[in-house]
A and B are shown apart, each in its own frame.
Chain A
């Protein structure tokens, strides 16, 4: 499959009064054409910063690329001038943000907010751009779009606003769409509608999607592959099935265990103990070690490299080292692994 975006050894820091915040500490992933890659992880793990650095939307004055590259269309985005980035933003790569209540300009009619990127990136008249905008609104399921072009954001509900934001993001048929927790700020029923819409659009348009969420339940619905982020690094990456049914990293186990399950009525919701690492002074070894009951001595001293689980599946944990002792994952993870051909707990299809 064709790689449309490659993030290689990306390291990025923020310079703050408190010191250097090492928000991204060596991130690698590829995005393939037409796929949806989910990035999951607790809040503060660096999901937004990773994607904002692809779009170069981080404050220039305080953020700094320390290492690595972001390859898109044969160019390294970390090296482009602001002018060159402006031509890419909204045209080749576009973004949907978390809070639709604040991501639209309150004093500009929504029609103009949708036509803005169209007029910016395409040679097209204002009238034609308006027609495109109306079509986009119809595409995202806005009733009577012609009548709503002149209205302001406050005249729309949260869900409708997110539809408008999605319309803006799709305006120029981007090659990559980044959705940063697009449903988190919405209430549950609206969440479901927006997810439905995104899945629908996924089929209609030929766009690669990076879908950020901290909600694994959402991931199963929309993603082809999943990257699990922790403390500014990707700790495990694989196909949806691999991450859900053959997870290898203790952090992924923790995330899966803290997912509310449908069948277990009595389920006490599990929470991973402890707090995320301090990125001002990140731990030397495995950043998750201090919170993990599976931590070994080496986890405190050396960061684990990626171990290959399958052609599509990698995890950064010393547990995968040939010399590491075999450990039992949590009960519910074993239950999952029993269903996955190729996992060591696989019980066969007869089950």
Chain B
């Protein structure tokens, strides 16, 4: 197990290096300059500013400088969005709200999704089943910004249950964005669990459990649930991605000072080092999620043994 994780860490490192390299050169190819109002500056002024951020160096030098900094955990300095602030500090200071709504959204979505899927499978072809299928379809097909706006209008404005936007009322402020983020994980989990539960409930070992005298609930929870859970792990990765991309939009709509909101702004103002830093931060997050998913597999499914040899 330790050997397996060690090996995975090396792969993660290589993946990150590739992502950093790719993003770096992509940024350089794209038009636009991070220096605000660059057109209005005289060439001399411009040279001064560029020199300050090392932008006057040849590309390979810039690249190795950046990668070397990265090795030491230095993501560079914000060029214009946060004028000179350390990128790592910027990201860390913005992580709180993002992590909170992301975690709440994921938790709410998965738990409700599993519940919906279970109920739908156990009450197959009843209105409960159809109802939860409709919720799942809505959750997958309605884009999060539409859903977010609806939440703002109904729960925020009309019924005045939660703040419409901004990050001022602690937990209450996090409710609507969390719900908006929860929709995709909810729908995905519900669909997966339903399909899988129905398949598992039809398998021989469930018949054997019945033949032992197990009751309906014992069969559902002691025998079927754990087996139906296994494939859900495979979509935890895509769900985490949906939380990330969702947060870009949702944080904008709810004006939440999180990483997503800051990332979108940094793209608009071409803040090279913030874009790079956030991309790398997101990549680390995803790679860790994937590792956790693989480890979870072994925990939930005894047939999968993680070893150094094969996985």
A positions within 8 Å CB-CB of B = 55, 57, 82-83, 86-91, 94-95, 97, 99, 102-108, 116-117, 120-121, 152, 154, 165, 168-169, 171
Q: In the bound complex, do residue A57 and residue B207 qualify as a contact, i.e. CB atoms below 8 Å apart? A: yes
Tell me whether B30 is interfacial, beta carbon within 8 Å: no
Q: Which residues of A contact B204 (CB under 8 A)?
A: 97, 99, 102-103
Q: In the bound complex, do residue A87 and residue B213 qualify as a contact, i.e. CB atoms below 8 Å apart? A: yes
Q: Is the interface of B mostly helix, strand, loop or mixed?
A: helix
CB-based nearest A residue for B202: A59
User: Smallest CB–CB gap between A231 and chain B, Å?
Assistant: 24
Q: In the bound complex, do residue A116 and residue B212 qualify as a contact, i.e. CB atoms below 8 Å apart? A: yes
Tell me whether B210 is interfacial, beta carbon within 8 Å: yes
Considering the complex, which residues of chain B in the window 228-285 have a beta carbon less than 8 Å from any beta carbon of chain A?
230
Q: A104 vs B208: C-alpha distance in the bound complex, in angstroms?
A: 7
Q: A83-B215, A90-B213, A107-B301 provided; 18 other pairs, C-beta below 8 A?
A: A86-B213, A88-B213, A90-B212, A90-B214, A97-B208, A102-B205, A103-B204, A105-B205, A105-B208, A105-B223, A107-B230, A107-B300, A107-B302, A108-B226, A116-B214, A121-B213, A152-B302, A171-B212
Q: In the bound complex, do residue A120 and residue B208 qualify as a contact, i.e. CB atoms below 8 Å apart? A: no
Q: In the bound complex, do residue A107 and residue B226 qualify as a contact, i.e. CB atoms below 8 Å apart? A: yes
Tell me whether B83 is interfacial, beta carbon within 8 Å: no
Q: In the bound complex, do residue A106 and residue B214 qualify as a contact, i.e. CB atoms below 8 Å apart? A: no
Q: What number of A-B contacts does a CB cutoff of 8 Å give?
A: 76
Q: In the bound complex, do residue A91 and residue B213 qualify as a contact, i.e. CB atoms below 8 Å apart? A: yes
Tell me whether B133 is interfacial, beta carbon within 8 Å: no
Q: A99 vs B222: C-alpha distance in the bound complex, in angstroms?
A: 21
Q: In the bound complex, do residue B212 and residue A120 qualify as a contact, i.e. CB atoms below 8 Å apart? A: yes
**Which of B214, B223, B226, B303 touches A86 (beta carbons < 8 Å)?**
B214
Q: Which residues of A contact B216 (CB under 8 A)?
A: 82
CB-based nearest B residue for A88: B213
30 inter-chain pairs at a CB distance below 8 angstroms, sorted by A residue, are: A55-B211, A86-B213, A86-B214, A86-B215, A89-B210, A89-B211, A89-B213, A90-B214, A94-B211, A95-B211, A99-B204, A102-B205, A103-B208, A105-B209, A105-B227, A106-B205, A106-B303, A107-B230, A107-B300, A107-B302, A108-B223, A116-B212, A117-B213, A120-B213, A120-B214, A121-B213, A152-B302, A168-B208, A168-B212, A169-B211
User: Smallest CB–CB gap between B144 and chain A, Å?
Assistant: 34
Q: Which residues of B contact A107 (CB under 8 A)?
A: 226-227, 230, 300-302
Q: In the bound complex, do residue B212 and residue A94 qualify as a contact, i.e. CB atoms below 8 Å apart? A: yes
B positions within 8 Å CB-CB of A = 203-205, 207-216, 222-223, 226-227, 230, 300-303
- Of B210, B300, B303, most A-chain CB atoms within 10 Å: B210
User: Smallest CB–CB gap between A86 and chain B, Å?
Assistant: 5
Q: Which residues of A contact B301 (CB under 8 A)?
A: 106-107
User: Smallest CB–CB gap between B98 and chain A, Å?
Assistant: 35
**Which of B210, B226, B300, B302 touches A57 (beta carbons < 8 Å)?**
B210
Given A106-B227, A106-B302, A108-B223: A90 and B205 interface contact (C-beta under 8 Å): no
Q: Which residues of A contact B302 (CB under 8 A)?
A: 106-107, 152, 154
Q: A46 vs B87: C-alpha distance in the bound complex, in angstroms?
A: 72
Q: A57 vs B230: C-alpha distance in the bound complex, in angstroms?
A: 26
Q: In the bound complex, do residue B223 and residue A154 qualify as a contact, i.e. CB atoms below 8 Å apart? A: no
User: Smallest CB–CB gap between A248 and chain B, Å?
Assistant: 35
User: Smallest CB–CB gap between B225 and chain A, Å?
Assistant: 10
Q: Which residues of B contact A116 (CB under 8 A)?
A: 209, 212, 214, 222
CB-based nearest B residue for A91: B213
Q: A4 vs B255: C-alpha distance in the bound complex, in angstroms?
A: 75
Q: Which residues of A contact B226 (CB under 8 A)?
A: 107-108
Q: A91 vs B211: C-alpha distance in the bound complex, in angstroms?
A: 9
- Of B204, B211, B222, B230, most A-chain CB atoms within 10 Å: B211
User: Smallest CB–CB gap between B202 and chain A, Å?
Assistant: 9
Q: A154 vs B303: C-alpha distance in the bound complex, in angstroms?
A: 6
User: Smallest CB–CB gap between A85 and chain B, Å?
Assistant: 8
CB-based nearest B residue for A171: B212
User: Smallest CB–CB gap between A8 and chain B, Å?
Assistant: 23
User: Smallest CB–CB gap between B203 and chain A, Å?
Assistant: 6
Q: A168 vs B223: C-alpha distance in the bound complex, in angstroms?
A: 15
CB-based nearest B residue for A58: B207
Given A57-B207, A103-B204, A106-B302: A117 and B212 interface contact (C-beta under 8 Å): yes
User: Smallest CB–CB gap between A119 and chain B, Å?
Assistant: 10
Q: A57 vs B211: C-alpha distance in the bound complex, in angstroms?
A: 7
CB-based nearest B residue for A56: B210
CB-based nearest A residue for B215: A86
CB-based nearest B residue for A152: B302
